[in-house]
Amino acid sequence: MTVFEALKGLGAEYSVSDTVIEIVLIGRDIDGTKDFMELDSRMRFLLRLDLLLNIILFSPSSTSSQSVSHGGFQKAVGSRTDTWINRKLDWIFKMYGLLEDDLYPDPRGLITFMSNPII
């Protein structure tokens, strides 16, 4: 299985575009056609973290739903809300710190930078 295929499979639950996966691979200077198992375990784990970070940052915390109502009765179908975002981000930050990652030495700074408009 290639690195690209592995990351695509890991993000299958979310709507992860091929472009997001390619950006993660470019960020780590990894060839997506390389065999996933040829990477060392640290790099495989970092790629998973990078993908998860991108999913959390650029995916909505709530997905739309269809609702039907009649009188005082309401039913929502298909809605989903991720209430664990902050805990997931905390975990990611801890993992980057434990791995002493060169690409994201201070992910909290990255998040702060990305959340502040430049203009």
Annotated domain spans of the chain: 3-115
pLDDT for res 117: 47
Q: What is the mean pLDDT of each run of 10 residues along the chain (119 residues)?
A: 92 80 91 95 91 77 66 70 73 79 63 50
Which residues face 68 on adjacent strands?
A: 75
Exposure string for 87-106, b = 16+ CB within 10 A, e = fewer: eebeebbebbeeeebeebee
pLDDT for res 29: 93
pTM equals: 0.67
Q: How many other C-beta atoms are found inside a 10 Å radius of the C-beta of residue 111?
A: 17
